[in-house]
Structure 1
Amino acid sequence: MVLSDRSTGKPKNNQAGRKSHGERRPRQPLKPGLEARIAATRILSAVVDRKTSLDGMLDSEHGNPAYLPLNEADRGLVKAILQSALRHLPRIDAIIAGMLDNPLPEGARSLHHLLVVAAAQMLYLDVPDHSAVDLAVEQANGDPRSRRFAKLVNAILRRIGREKEDLLAAVDDLPCMPDWFMQRLEAVYGQEHALAIAASQLQPPTIDLTVKSDAAGWAERLGGQVLPTGTVRLDRFRGAITTLEGFEDGVWWVQDAAAAIPAKLFGDLHGKRVADLCAAPGGKTAQLVLAGGDVVAVEQSKSRVKRLESNLARLDLPAETRCVDLLTIGADDSFDAILLDAPCSSTGTTRRHPDVLWTKDAADIAKLAALQEKLLRHAVTLLKPGGRLVFSNCSIDPSEGEEIIDRLLVDFPDLRLLPIVPEDWPGLEAAITPKGEFRTTPAMLAEQGGLDGFYAAIVAKI
């Protein structure tokens, strides 16, 4: 017998009020913006607790599963939240800790990250306080691990909203870097310079372009300035790089001012056979080609070689590319000039990559320094007598720069350091060490927007 619902006259299931076998309640839609906050919290956890690179998780095709379903606006919000949270993490942590009578339980890491994400919006972004608070409480209630702390979340965040200015003033002198790294910086650069480096990473990164020619002309066209390196730095540009004049024609490429220095140290390369041994994404390769070199660009990763070739094609610059481990290149395949911009800890790039200091530690720096030295010791065997090699990286730790070169010169008596002359680099004289090596830090050129930390040295084979 089929029963019918009197109000509709439609057949009525005799299991009314119950879910049939296999049936699930439809999922209630989340509040607008909540998915973005959940994604930001999960990604922050991956960075801080599991030391996962932020760039990979924000990849538009292969990123974090919580990030990929978001629309472009929410993706932009997630990036902004994470950048702010990671840049200011020690200060945010201090503010939250100061509001707790007792530390959060060991198992409450997800709650801590939820609070950091909300606080970053309230303290450093243009997100209305009520929105950040409401969504954080909703997020806490929706997570079984954090549900019992929802009232605490509400209380802490409302207090942050009320006392924002005083709270920020109270932590203003706290360096936004991990203690272990600040100690290393102070030991090398002294306290004043170390604090300046820490402060520099709080500034938004600039957009720098290396142009094929006429830097002054392109600076005028694009609304920028020419730096001492010859780099064109754009002023307050926030749009899509691909829409700028000159992109499609391949007359310039994006490259931090400091990253443009190592290739410039060779000078004229006409008639020279040149190797760029860690070549992707290709900015330095392009510089070497423009300097007149017959360039072989070496990269181990297939995907990075593809990116390298794509960039060179846009720039219409010829170079031989090889997808190979540089350690397998034999001494019979020798070069007049070699650039080894080696993989490193990237501690000089925290303006652009604030996750670096939370995904790396002292052990990582030591491991990467050992790899760099191994690569460098092989690279010098590929250098012809009379040839020059430039060794560089974007670390600001001497164990990944000066100390490696010192050991190399002791063990290879046919090599000598070619000192860089400060007078050849007006405006960057302070970046030349007493021995004649390049050592930029993010605190340099501060009035013009700063630059990445870089090390570079020239060695010649006798």
Structure 2
Amino acid sequence: MSDQTAPATPAPINPRRVAASLLDGVLGKGRALDDQLADPKTGFRDLADRDRAFVRRLVATALRRRGQIDGVLRKFLTLWPKGLPREALRLGAAELLFLDAPPHAAVDSAVDLMHPDQKKPRGLINAVLRKVATEGMAIVAEQDAALTNTPDWLWQSWDHAYGPDVARDIALAHLQEAPLDISVKSDASVWAETLQAELLPNGSLRRMAGGAIESLPGFEDGAWWIQDAAATLPALLLGDVKDLRVADLCAAPGGKTAQLAAMGAQVMAVDRSDPRLKRLKANLKRLHLKAEVRTAEIESWQPPQLFDAVLLDAPCSATGTIRRHPDLPYLKDETDVMKLAALQQRLIKAAWAMLKPGGKMVYCVCSLQPEEGERQMPVLRALPGARIVPADAAKLGLPEEAVTSDGALRTLPCHWAERGGMDGFFAVCLEKTV
């Protein structure tokens, strides 16, 4: 017989413990949720597919409903005792209040996140969550979900920019999980049937989120890619780009690069980040699409020759994507918006210098903040020889209010509400007349 002892079987990973770590990463350490999900150290990637889906849903719910959850917990905890894990309480409350979990299972699971020796925290978590289970729903019924779950800096901004009713519609849209939007290279109606998806007015396909994207028909063959319907609109503002030389600036991760290439353009994708461009290249390879890829700082880069068209998808606060990224309200603030607005102005001027006379440039941001969109219009109008090309709402399948009085495109998460909404984007097309 061998004297060697068989290696011990590793203990199974507790999905709720992973969820608590992810939630603390966002709220306690300021780490983006997507970065954590991709980090092998978090343990998320080691979970089974079903557990990964559960963890995503649980953490997203705790973030979307953080204001309501904390409001309920404060009814039973006037002070947070030192050493009490807030994330265990928040996740337990999220399950009880918004995920229809059996009370005993949600309470026991939250208590089990604590070490057996931590008797006082275990007892307190048990007591508080039992109160939440019996009295929490009545408290939730009295809450203003839109206002309570939106950080004050965002609510004030949207209220001022769009009015209280639209601000409320935006906030309510953020409480819903975003559907899965798909851009296809061709045969949209055929793929809509194959993927059991709805064909949207802009040509995107939409189906409910969930399941492994890689297992859907056509993924491995490179027939389509994931891209929110609103994100397709800026490239469409350029019109027919077949055979034109088009610069996609700040291009990674590459959805718009793929879209332009599929439209027949000769695309040069430019971004400052090598790692993000590697992902772009991998996407193009899967999709069997071609584009020249260049690593460069947009502000100082000079192309070898001017372009027929330029698409500048500028770095921004990304508050238009909160439906998909519920951690964003807790990672950004007003100071970020102002810094990004200043950067956008520099990028606008650099991008304009890369455009041929007679060419078109689209400036866009996936932001709801007017500082990054509407308030950039004076800078855009002041560009030498700039003429605004008004967007056509009907042609894009959008409501009339999606086009501003200046002719720019302004989508909101509450647009297409009956279809599941869309990301918030600002985009404007300009023609260079001289």
1:55 corresponding residue in structure 2: 34
Change (3 A) 1:403 1:170: same
Q: Of the candidates 198, 212, 215, which is equivalent to residue 225 of structure 1?
A: 198
Q: Which residue of 2 aligns with 1:117?
A: 91
Measured in 2, the distance between the counterparts of 1:264 and 1:432 equals 14
Question: Is 1:104–2:80 an aligned residue pair?
Answer: yes
Match of 1:328 among 287, 297, 300: 300
Q: Which structure would you say has the larger Rg?
A: 1
Distance 1:143 1:320, change over 3 A: farther
Alignment of 1:236-251 (within 5 A): 236=208, 238-251=210-223
Matches within 5 A, 1:36-435: 36-59=15-38, 62-65=39-42, 67=44, 70-100=47-77, 102-105=78-81, 107-108=82-83, 111-142=85-116, 147-175=119-147, 176-234=149-207, 236=208, 238-330=210-302, 333-410=305-382, 412-435=383-406
Deviation for aligned residue 1:141: 4.6
Task: Evaluate the alpha carbon distance shift between residue 239 and residue 74 of structure 1 in structure 2; reply closer, same or farther with a 3 A threshold.
Answer: closer
Say which SS state the counterpart of residue 231 (structure 2) adopts: coil
Work out the CA distance in 2 between the residues paired with 1:388 and 1:371: 21
Q: How many residues align?
A: 425
Distance 1:406 1:457 in 2: 12
How far apart in 1 are the matches of 2:313 and 2:273?
Answer: 15
SS of the aligned residue for 1:328 comes to coil
Cα separation, partners in 2 of 1:450 and 1:333, compared to 1, 3 Å: same
Partner SS for 1:258: helix
Shift of 1:69: 5.0
Any stretches of 5+ residues in structure 2 without a counterpart? 1-7
Asked if structure 1 preserves the Cα contact closer than 8 Å seen for 2:68 and 2:145, the reply is: no
- Which residue type is aligned with residue 53 of structure 1? A
Does the aligned pair in 2 maintain the 1:51–1:360 contact within 8 Å? no
Structure 1 residues 191, 337: CA separation in 2 closer, same or farther (over 3 Å shift)?
same
Q: 1:343 deviation in Å?
A: 1.4
Task: Give the CA deviation at 1:393.
Answer: 1.3
Q: Which amino acid aligns with 2:163?
A: G
Report deviation, 1:115. Answer: 0.8
The amino acid that maps onto 2:417 is A
Tell me, yes or no, if the aligned pair for 1:264 and 1:287 is still in contact at 8 Å.
no
Alignment-derived partner of residue 449 in structure 1 = 420
Q: Name the CA shift for 1:239/1:43 in 2 (closer, same or farther; >3 Å).
A: closer
CA displacement, residues 290-349 of structure 1 (integer Å, 9 cap, x when unaligned): 222111111222221111111111211111111222233216531110001111111011
- Please identify, of 147-156 and 358-367, the stretch whose mean Cα deviation from structure 2 is larger: 147-156
1:99-122 per-position Cα deviation (integer Å, ceiling 9, x unaligned): 22x3224x45x5222211111111
- Once the two structures are TM-superposed, the CA of residue 363 in structure 1 deviates from its matched residue by 0.9
Of 181-190 and 156-165, the range deviating more from structure 2: 156-165
Change (3 A) 1:90 1:460: same
Whole-angstrom distance in 2 between the partners of 1:363 and 1:395 = 15
More divergent stretch after superposition (332-341 vs 124-133): 124-133
- The alpha-carbon deviation at position 221 of structure 1 amounts to 2.3
Unpaired runs of 5+ in structure 1? 1-26
Q: Secondary structure at the match of 2:198?
A: strand
The farther-off stretch of 183-192 and 247-256 is 247-256
1:385 CA displacement: 0.9
Q: TM-score, normalised by structure 1?
A: 0.86
AA partner of residue 224 (structure 1): A
Structure 1 distance, partners of 2:273, 2:116, is 41
Instruction: Give deviations 1:23-48, integer Å, cap 9, x for gaps.
Output: xxxx9x98x77x33233223212211
**Aligned-partner Cα distance in 1 for 2:397–2:80:** 52
Q: What percentage of residue pairs aligned between the two structures are identical?
A: 43
